[in-house]
Structure 1
Amino acid sequence: METKKFWTYENKLLILLFFVWGFVFVDRLALNFLFPFMTEELGLSNTHIGIIVSAFSLTWAIAGWFGGFFSDKTGKKKNILMISVLLFSFCSLLTGLANGFVMLILFRMLMGITEGPVFPVAQSLLSVASSPHRRGFNMGFFQSSSTALLASFLGPIVIVALANEFGWRPTFFLTIVPGLILLFFIWKVVQEPKELTFEAEKPAEKVPLSLVLKNKNVLVSVFVAIFAVTWYLNINTFTPLFLVDKGISASNMSYIMAAFGLGGVLWGFGIPAISDKIGRKPTMIIFSFITAIAPLAFIFLGSNQMVLLMIAAFIGNVGVGTMVLSMSNMPSESVPAKYVATAVGFIMAIGELVGGVAFTTIAGIAADMYGLAAPMWIAIGSTVLCGLLAILYYETAPIKVGKSTGPSAPIGTELT
């Protein structure tokens, strides 16, 4: 009986990209966990916070779209990934040098430019390397379990502890070290996919890029991404401030956010794995509505109900799993492989521009006008809209459509 090797290229790439993407979000969410330490020193209001997060999303979105398109056009995915990791590591360090609102927003915009290409490029690399029967698990493990474990679970505990001990500025300075380590392993491990550039297409296989972006599932994912990003950024940006404002200590706040992150570790690969069995569409619909549990609990439970708050946070992070379906699995199973990074980058860009820029800015203004509960209600409404929009998807899970979908799948009836 032949024994399958564990240390295949697929698994090595999956583990490496798990840490790369997780560290991207450690850098991105670190600011949110440190806002309670920074607001007084830098004179930041809730509106300022919303604008800072939105400005980051703006440059992240633009860079994600162009980075994904450029990597598809040139095929230089490994080089683009290495450059991005190197630059965003230095940009994270710069955040610790900010002396006010203007400098902080400039540093975060620069960081968004350098981090934007990482997701579409990494997702494209993994999509090609993944076995069809593991695609849902791989995408979930890479996209959501990584951010949940490293950024949402370990992140608040470690970052808040470092800030309590050394201050928020040295905490940012330390973030460059993991980035340099990951850069070395990308150089050693990642292989450039073959024949996945636009130029590599045979004339008979050419598909206009405009047709890819009109694909029904891509279009539905664009609108779902808008509200998914709105939910994600509202929860991760304003929940730490909201919980502290309710009278919960910074340390207890970090435990609630860690429970939220721990849930994401499970749901990040669990939801896509469930969708491998029962289908992408029903999984997306059901768990989008369940996501509303966390912000509802944050609003209605008291500051002394720590256990219930942590349980609700754990359950309510199922949204990270549905984001994998809408932003990775379904688009990558609906377009040819050479267009995956472009499609995913486009979805991410629109989601970040509208959900991350416009709606997060509005949430910050609403928090100043109506209180910090306002972003929680915005998050609740966003999850409900994700569930309703998911009804419009057509199914792509291989077990349901009865054929191999994914990187080699042609564009067929998806535009109906």
Structure 2
Amino acid sequence: METKKFWTYENKLLTLLFFVWGFVFVDRLALNFLFPFMTEELGLTNTHIGIIVSAFSLTWACSGWFGGLLSDKIGKKKNILMISVLLFSVCSLLTGVANGFLMLIIFRMLMGVTEGPVFPVAQSLLSVASSPHRRGFNMGLFQSSSTALLASFLGPIIIVALANTFGWRPTFFLTIIPGLILFFLIWKVVKEPVELTLKDEKPEEKVPLSLVLRNKNVVVSVFVAIFTVTWYLNINTFTPLYLVDKGISPTNMSFIMAALGLGGVLWGFGVPAISDKIGRKPTMIIFSFITAVAPLGFIFLGTSQMALLMIAAFIGNVGVGTMVLSMSNMPSESVPAKYVATAVGFIMAIGELVGGVGITALAGMAADKYGLVAPMWIAIVSTILCGFLAFLYYETAPIKINKQKLPQVTPTNTEI
């Protein structure tokens, strides 16, 4: 009997892209963990912080859309990925030389430009290389667990420890090291896809966006994405500042943020798995409301209740699982395969632009006017709104409904 090799190209690519995407989010969230060390020296207000995070989201969303289109048009996906990894690592290093708000926002906007193409390019590489029966598993591991484990769980512990030891500027300087290692590994491991479409699928057609938006679940997911991105960025941006301002030490803050990340490792797979058993819609409703546990715990638990704060953070990060459902699973199950890229791409872009750019900037202004508790309440309201919006979905889980009976996006049969 022939023994199957584990270290196939598919597994090599999955492992490499797991670390690439995770490191992208380490770079993205590192600034949030280091804000408590930077604000006084650079004279940053909460409004400045909200604008910096929003500006990054703006360039990230635009370059992600453009980078994906460019890679499809000219090919050379490997080269685009290599260049993106190298440039965003350089931009992360440059963050360490910023001397004020203006320089910091320029460097972070440049980082957004260079990081944006990584996800669509990596996703397309992994899709082509994946076995048909493993595509869902591969994409879930790549998209959710990598960021939760590397950026949200290990990130705050390591980054805050480095900042306590060396200072925040050298911490940014050190981020170029893993970037250079990943650049080299991409060059050695990644193969340029010979075929730009999956072997068992026809080439995707260009789909009018107006046709995709005739599907009810896609429209609901657009609004849910706005509030899930708002929740995610408010929690990850302002919680470190809020906890330190509340009297918690930077080290203990890093442990609470790590508990948040550890929850994300579990819930990133756990919530979609639960939805396979009880349905997508009830899972979205239940866990959207549970997501409010984290910011509520941060507000009402005392600084000495570390264990409870970490438990609240762990439980309250179920939102990463509902994010996977609303931005990937439900849209992809609601429309025919040839419409999925258009639907998911539009949902993610609007979520970043409105939730990441607009509302997060307003959250920073609210923090200056009403205190750092304001972004916590914004996160709470966002999760509650997601829960109520989830009632508008129609069910798509295979266990609950026959796929042949799902509403299809055609001119004569659409779900409005």
TM-score of the superposed pair, with normalisation by structure 2:
0.90
Change in Cα spacing, 1:206 to 1:234, as seen in structure 2 (3 Å) is closer
* Structure 1 segment 298-337 matched on structure 2, within 5 A: 298-335=298-335
- Indicate conservation of the 8 Å contact 1:127/1:332, yes or no: no
Deviations 1:156-209 (Å, cap 9, x if unpaired)?
Answer: 110011111111111111111212222233331355272439xx967xx84533
Q: CA deviation at 1:359?
A: 0.6
Percent of aligned positions with the same letter in both sequences?
Answer: 82
- 1:263 and 2:274 matched: no
Specify the code of the residue in structure 2 equivalent to 1:172.
Answer: F
Q: CA deviation at 1:36?
A: 0.5
- 1:161 and 2:161 matched: yes
Alpha-carbon distance between aligned partners in 1 of 2:67 and 2:339, rounded to the nearest angstrom? 13
Q: Secondary structure at the match of 2:302?
A: coil
- Indicate conservation of the 8 Å contact 1:128/1:337, yes or no: no
Alpha-carbon distance between aligned partners in 2 of 1:178 and 1:387, rounded to the nearest angstrom? 38
Specify the code of the residue in structure 2 equivalent to 1:278.
Answer: I
Specify the code of the residue in structure 1 equivalent to 2:250.
Answer: A
Q: Secondary structure at the match of 2:353?
A: helix
Alpha-carbon distance between aligned partners in 2 of 1:53 and 1:254, rounded to the nearest angstrom? 20
- 1:347 and 2:347 matched: yes
Change in Cα spacing, 1:327 to 1:124, as seen in structure 2 (3 Å) is farther
Specify the code of the residue in structure 2 equivalent to 1:53.
Answer: V
- Indicate conservation of the 8 Å contact 1:128/1:193, yes or no: no
In structure 1, the partner of 2:43 is: 43
- Indicate conservation of the 8 Å contact 1:120/1:342, yes or no: no
- Indicate conservation of the 8 Å contact 1:136/1:275, yes or no: no
Q: CA deviation at 1:333?
A: 3.9
Change in Cα spacing, 1:395 to 1:67, as seen in structure 2 (3 Å) is farther
Alpha-carbon distance between aligned partners in 1 of 2:162 and 2:351, rounded to the nearest angstrom? 32
- Indicate conservation of the 8 Å contact 1:123/1:328, yes or no: no
In structure 1, the partner of 2:286 is: 286
In structure 2, the partner of 1:249 is: 249
- Indicate conservation of the 8 Å contact 2:408/2:415, yes or no: no
Number of residue pairs aligned between Structure 1 and Structure 2: 409
Alpha-carbon distance between aligned partners in 2 of 1:315 and 1:193, rounded to the nearest angstrom? 43
Alpha-carbon distance between aligned partners in 2 of 1:190 and 1:283, rounded to the nearest angstrom? 38
- 1:94 and 2:94 matched: yes
In structure 1, the partner of 2:19 is: 19
Change in Cα spacing, 1:195 to 1:30, as seen in structure 2 (3 Å) is closer
In structure 2, the partner of 1:217 is: 217
Alpha-carbon distance between aligned partners in 1 of 2:77 and 2:333, rounded to the nearest angstrom? 20
Q: Secondary structure at the match of 2:97?
A: coil
In structure 1, the partner of 2:207 is: 208
In structure 2, the partner of 1:28 is: 28
Alpha-carbon distance between aligned partners in 2 of 1:76 and 1:342, rounded to the nearest angstrom? 22
Unaligned runs of 5+ in 1: none
Specify the code of the residue in structure 2 equivalent to 1:254.
Answer: S
Q: CA RMSD in A?
A: 2.7
Q: CA deviation at 1:366?
A: 0.8
In structure 2, the partner of 1:295 is: 295
Q: Secondary structure at the match of 2:391?
A: helix
Specify the code of the residue in structure 2 equivalent to 1:231.
Answer: W
Q: CA deviation at 1:153?
A: 0.9
- Indicate conservation of the 8 Å contact 2:408/2:414, yes or no: no
Unaligned runs of 5+ in 2: none
- Indicate conservation of the 8 Å contact 2:234/2:360, yes or no: yes
Greater shift after overlay, 7-16 or 228-237?
7-16
Deviations 1:202-237 (Å, cap 9, x if unpaired)?
Answer: 7xx845332345543333222111101100010011
Q: CA deviation at 1:63?
A: 1.1
* Structure 1 segment 138-217 matched on structure 2, within 5 A: 138-187=138-187, 188-192=189-193, 194-196=195-197, 206=205, 208-210=207-209, 211-212=211-212, 214-217=214-217
Q: Secondary structure at the match of 1:392?
A: coil
Specify the code of the residue in structure 2 equivalent to 1:140.
Answer: G
Greater shift after overlay, 180-189 or 308-317?
180-189
Deviations 1:42-87 (Å, cap 9, x if unpaired)?
Answer: 0001111111111111111111222233334445443332322222
Greater shift after overlay, 334-343 or 91-100?
334-343
In structure 2, the partner of 1:120 is: 120
Q: CA deviation at 1:388?
A: 1.9
Alpha-carbon distance between aligned partners in 2 of 1:53 and 1:264, rounded to the nearest angstrom? 21
Change in Cα spacing, 1:206 to 1:34, as seen in structure 2 (3 Å) is closer
Alpha-carbon distance between aligned partners in 2 of 1:283 and 1:134, rounded to the nearest angstrom? 23
TM-score of the superposed pair, with normalisation by structure 1:
0.90
In structure 1, the partner of 2:387 is: 387
Change in Cα spacing, 1:245 to 1:124, as seen in structure 2 (3 Å) is same
Q: Secondary structure at the match of 1:142?
A: helix
Alpha-carbon distance between aligned partners in 1 of 2:194 and 2:84, rounded to the nearest angstrom? 18
In structure 2, the partner of 1:376 is: 376
Change in Cα spacing, 1:76 to 1:340, as seen in structure 2 (3 Å) is farther
In structure 1, the partner of 2:79 is: 79
Change in Cα spacing, 1:86 to 1:393, as seen in structure 2 (3 Å) is farther
Specify the code of the residue in structure 2 equivalent to 1:355.
Answer: G
- Indicate conservation of the 8 Å contact 1:137/1:270, yes or no: no
- Indicate conservation of the 8 Å contact 1:68/1:341, yes or no: no
